[in-house]
Structure 1
Amino acid sequence: MSSTVWFGLLGPVDIRLDGVPVPLPSARTRALLAALLCQPNRVVSVDGLVDAVWGADPPDGALTTLRSHVMRLRRCLGPEAGRLQTAAPGYRLLLDPATELDTKMFVARHQAGQVAAAAGDWRSAARYAAEALALWRGEPLADVPSEQLQLDEAAAWAELRVEAIELRARADISLGRPADAAAAMRRLAADHPHREPAYALLMAALAAADRRAEALKVYRLLRTVLVRDLGMEPSPELRALQQRILAMDDSADDAADVGGAGGAGGADDAGGNSDGNGDGNGDGNGDGTTGDSTARDEASTAYVAWPPPHTLPRDVADFTGRDEQLRRIADAVIDAATDAVAAGFADAHAAASPHAATDPQPATDPQPAFAAVIDGMAGIGKSALAVHAAHQLSDRFPDGQLYADLLGTSPEPAEPRAVLASFLRLLGISPAELPEPDMERAALYRSLLAGRRVLVVLDDVRDSRQLAPLIPATPGCALLATTRDRHVGIAGAMRLSLGTLTSTESHALLTRIVGPDRTAGEPEATEELLAACAGSPLAVRAAGGRITARSTWQIADLAARVGVPGRRLDELRFADYDVRAGFEAGFAALAGLSGSAFGAGPSPVSSASSSSENTLAISLCQLGLWSGGELGLSVAATLLGRPAPETEEILERLVDLNLLQAPRHGRYLLHDLVREFAAEKAQNLLTDEQRRAAAELWRLPRARSVKTPSSS
């Protein structure tokens, strides 16, 4: 059985066999593949391939080396190696352009959109343009070091992409979605400051949204840029559009007329202008006003030419470990993008078939945006992993990356409507245009992301209610969310639960912070210190920061300090790296407003969902007094003074909150640092009777035996 094959050039060069990415061994092999894909099913001469791979100065023996690269490429193609044929005077690569090569699929969809627009079918035009743009994963041929291919091929595709973005904007204006068009055109105008069609569409979209003053500011901005940079005035078509905006009244018909004319890329010149500005007033501003507005225009430039958002926090320079999680996220993002493209273009190809009307094909199920939820205990590195993964994947999301800290473990978590307002402003929506109802904000947010490739990172999510309005809905986008609560989830999303670092990873992280000379010089003290950190990245960073900041300290000095009973959490604190503070934030949600709110004795609970926060807090404190390793349900029930069913509900909820571990079914375990923190809290929150009961329980032989797997 033959494999399904997909080739990608609109971004890093990509091969997929049955949906699995195929690594390419070298940049020259990628250049060879790209040169063949630029002329699919056609023979590319050996000389042409040499020029594409090495340029004007090929090495000695280039022909022999080229044959070696051909052999490597055939090995990469595996069962599909027969597609790469030797044919005088060179080679050719066989494929189906309609379904197996993103550049051909992109051009076909773009052309279909243009035909639909010419026929006035704006809904189809918008769909074709969105499908075409969804194929882009970044800069075309991003990892191919071939100047010839960049000039001959990539530049042409980039120009067509700009036209597709403009086509989508024209369709959005015609379909009554001017806000979407305005946001896209701001980004395009920022990237192409001299491109008049983009400014015309931005003006038309703003006018159609009844924001004529802003539309006229756009005209002034463009005129300033053109005169300053090129010594030329705006085109007659753009001046005519500006005149029509000036002449608009408040009728919807006039707004639609301006939108249609601007979206079409121009109209007849208004004529009768004697000053070269197209306004007939001779004032030099071109907007029907008088006076010098240059300073105001320059002040508004940053808002009008709105760039794609790139708001990720700084990546962690010494990020260590989590290789498996990073690989899973990257593979899933690539697979989701490939599946979305394949599904969308299978439908589009069927619709474009000459037999589509007589032999309709069933539509492919729509694909959701990719989402991953990362959970774990405080300080385990959830945020660092999400941000690091987002930076690694940023080139696959050329339309931007959005980041928000939802403050889920703070006393005042972020409100989704406020986060939506921030995201919408970053996507080009003016404050005056922000919808007031929460549902409308969420709908506009999803509309702006549709047809674009945007990565959204939401850190420290409190619950699903806070998360739901911020989830992208359409393929091409992706979401990475972090939380301490395993109840936070998204249907169909990838779930990653982070554990502690391995000893090797902890050692590598500390070495990167303090330097290899210091860890190599004190191997025993290093191991002792890392044992106290118990695999917590936050603890390792706090310890490394203290050692680095105190050049006179030995690692053994800090290892001795953390070994003092009751001092470990005091010592594992440096700058923003504070282990105790990390646990405090999560515990505050359990403990309520004050210690006085806690009852002295156990309070009944009917279910895990109805367990009071005070009950969970007191139970965690009681578990903190347990001096053994794993404990089973019966011992835990005795420790908490509750029936077994209630105890199990409490323990499982603490597991969901990543305050307790469940190494296997029916067995529970506190992380060393959580245990020390809970024991601290127990001194103030538990009664003398509760503390005495825990001490007595540990003295029982039956309780001491719980370290063995057979114990209860």
Structure 2
Amino acid sequence: MSPSEGVPAAAPDYRILGPLEVGTGASTRLRVAPGRQQVVLGALLLEPNRVVSIAQLVDTVWYEDPPATARTQVQICVSSLRAKLAEAASGAAIVTRPPGYLLRVDEDAIDGHRFAAMVSEATTLTAAVRWAEAATLLRAADALWRGPALSGIPSRILQVRAGQLDESRLNAVESRFDLELRLGRHHQLVGEIATLLNEHPLRERARGQLMLALHRAGRQSEALRVYREGRELLVEQFGLEPGDELRRLERAILADDDSLRVTPPRGPAQLVSTQDRTGPATPPPAGPTEVPLQLPGDIADFAGRADLVARTENLLLEGAGRVATRVVVLLGKPGIGKTALAVHVAHRLSSDDFPDGQLYCDLGGTRARAVSAAEALGRFLRALGVPGSSVPDVLAERAEMYRSLLARRRMVVLLDDAAAETQVQNLLPGTSGCVVLITSRARLTGLAGARLVDVEVMDHTQAHRLLTTVVGQERVDAEPVAAAELIEVASGLPLALRILAARLAARPGRSLAWMVRRLVDEHRRLDELAHGDLAVRASVALSYDSLPPDARRLVRRLSVLDVPSVPVWVADALLDDDSERTADLLELLVDEQMLEETEDASGLRYRFHNLIRLFARERLEAAETPGERRRSVSRVADGWLTLAGEAHRRIYGGDYAILRGVEPRWVPGAEYLDRVRADPLAWLESERATLCAAVELTAAAGLDEICCELAITLVTLFESGCYFEDWEHTHLRALEVAEAAGNRRALAVLRCSLASLHLSRGRLSAAQELLEPVLVEFTDLGDVHGQAMARRNLALVDHLRGDLDPALMGYRVALAQFRTAGDPVGQAHVLCQIAQLDLDAEQLAAAETNLMAALEICGRVGSRRVQVQVRFRLSGLLVAQGQFRQAAAELAELLVAVRSTGDVVGEGRVLHRLGTVEALLGRTDEAVAVLTEALALRERTMDLSGAAEIRKELARLTG
């Protein structure tokens, strides 16, 4: 039946994935006039069912040069569009809502929304190992596209949004290629991937996919040719080598590596092609966005507590859709199993209900230094994708950003070991899409709306189930009386029962009665087993007392290190012994449930349960003198300083730190130094929490020399990652120790470094207030290198304020002092700053002389960090000289360098200049694409002035 016969016309179908179209039937299109009407409709379609202000529409149509009648013209456009849409569907689709307009529409009628929903669903299917379904869905999503998004619309702002849509399409297509390769469909994919790569030859992900498909199809030589062609393209155009992943893939293909074979999915059954099941496998396909999954691992033999698990789950899930966040607090005494229960429940929550991941933070409420709300928010914001440079300094602003990011997400947030309401209040999301699970010894009654759950001791049935799970059904059934006695003396404390059960599990030849007799032999302690902390202490003592003397000594000394986990060499340092012996002791402690073993990219690591750490610390204070404890800490701190110093040298280009102690240092084994050298910045990042804790530890031990040197050495990490709170905290702590020791030189060095922190935060006056007395102090001490550091920073203050003559004078004095002190990297940095002054004054010959001198120094000493700064200014010189092609090549190489270090701020700056150079070369399309990417980064890092400059450039290019 036709519409004229009484059936209403179908609602319009809005198409933005290609030229803008409004379809009103199978083959009917509603004509929207090109120009302003298409721009206004496009802007409304990108924000469906949300108000778009008239000011936004004016900017979208005219950008930064609107006519006086702009608002009137927008209103005329809207009126015309409203009339046309009213003809195509019943009722007006565009609604007036101050301060603008709202397009009232079923979002499924917009092809861009359908595309995003299909990609999101495919990501969920991929996580569930339903690869065939996910691939089919992604292919259907790609079929929605008719060409570049919003093509032909003359709006700079819409072109930016369209570029983002186009990139999401390419990512989705590559994700589908991953899935279909995983399913063994390589024969069918070769042509399709080759077509994509021909259109986008610089996409290394697609190039790797084509190599894999060809290799699986038995066309190894062609696969290697694809690699060579890509490498030649990169070398010829940019002077770059392919990325690490592509190079590893080439090596694997050359070796016909078995690890590349296709493997069937480990998950729910699905339709998988049986063709070529012996071919190589692609890596598991990644979703379009990072999803934080921070929960610790669940306990494999978690037993009992079924009622409590169900109750907690119900409290978290009931009332879904309410405005308020659902919060559950698990309360209980030490050793009762709060954390294990919380982690278990969090893992059980369905990924369908909470598809956006999990956030976890151990708040350390029972430790001497708890994690502050500001620190926890900093971790969460980084996990959610916020660059370190964009994390606000102020707690309230961090909380606002956190709530904004979680407002449209559905996540599980687990806050472990909270001390008080004030610690967690700012960590609660503001909307109901997320659930929060908190563990605490305190009742936290001040948290409005939180549901409190008391975690009590296990009853006999629950304890019996736990004992059976760990020890084994057969052994427990064989000794029912002994099993009942073990449960009784453990008094329902999960920690105590788990330790006893684990000891029995590790000794299958021992009877349960043997363990009961051991408990009877220590009857005085057993009398106190059910009395608070003493119960845990007695249970831990059973394992501790059975250890050999060296193992007990290691347990005691490990307890002094209040760090998350430690590698094997730390045990070497504590015992001043060789790795083979201490590794055996660590394994014994794991077997005896005194330590937990984990593994990461750096190798095996060991950690305490908090209560066992407290027990071991009590024994340490009773068994060892303060001098023995201090010497143990000193050796461990020596090790951290040695490794951090090696990382600093590799990044900075030499050992030019101005704090150097005179005492001999304990040095970890060569294999640990090799791991640092392989990727120094990655090592610093992975050990950041431990290194900061080491500063605190040495401060508490009064080791002023090591404490101050370690704090200064870590500045390399703090600068690169924008870890400003860590920088400030470690330096203030080291200052306290240096003041107590009367260490004038350390005080001056630390204050000079804190001034650099102020400069990084844009606090020029605060930096100057520190630097002026520091310069006097270095002069009194006769420390020329210290004077050079202080003068350089003071000159930088003048430079940033626009006082150029004093800045130049200060730089020249600092340069001479760096030469006297023998610090070539300091010289290179100052030459780079002077060159910038030359560039600003259009003294190009002088700028070139200074930059080439700085570049020669960096190349000679291997200072990658300063070399990037020099080369960026060199690209500016090339632009000023009119050497645009050389500037573009230089910037392309720099882009690889900044991306390899995760420097998002630097990446935005390099892209900005590269886009400008592309425009100067007349390559407008390339310039717009690069500047669009730069704009996204500048906005992401909250660089508003830089973003405004890019918008102006885009306006000039597309106007």
TM superposition score normalised by structure 2:
0.32
Q: Which has the higher helix share?
A: 2
TM superposition score normalised by structure 1:
0.42
* Greater relative CO, 1 or 2 (CA 8 Å, sep 6+): 1
